[in-house]
Structure 1
């Protein structure tokens, strides 16, 4: 099972994106766990994640998250994909970065 952690400011809008990503994962018949947490709580789940995706609104905290992440890849979600809640595109990019 792959684990994807989405990190944002408060977790509200990212929760919508998580739902769309999960729907796409089901269509792909992939076993993927996707969760969203605010930056303040992200440290608790980074070690268990295969990748950490940052919402565009917290991209300025990328270096802080990378220092917590160690070898776990950290990427910023494309602003257009985030704004349009394109769960398919975000999931596909995450899976590419995990490989």
Structure 2
């Protein structure tokens, strides 16, 4: 289990959003790997020194946004992440075809 992590309880950002951001960052960085379980709600309560409701809200939001899946008997697992396309280089269909060498 990880060491206790302090969230900024004086921040204007709600605690559940801070926790959401922290867990999401760990997923995106690869600390929590795809198809692996994350720490239990109880472990997160202790790690972050927050209420169970706060942990559940963050997990629920992450599940809603496609980062986690709750499985009975297995815990909460990290979803396979979608590879996002770099929209700054988005072209039209014909532009993409030209780049690929299609006619």
Same fold per TM (> 0.5)?
Answer: no
Higher relative CO (Cα under 8 Å, sequence separation at least 6) belongs to 1
TM-score by length of structure 1 reads 0.25
Q: Please tell me whether Structure 1 or Structure 2 has the larger radius of gyration of its CA atoms.
A: 2
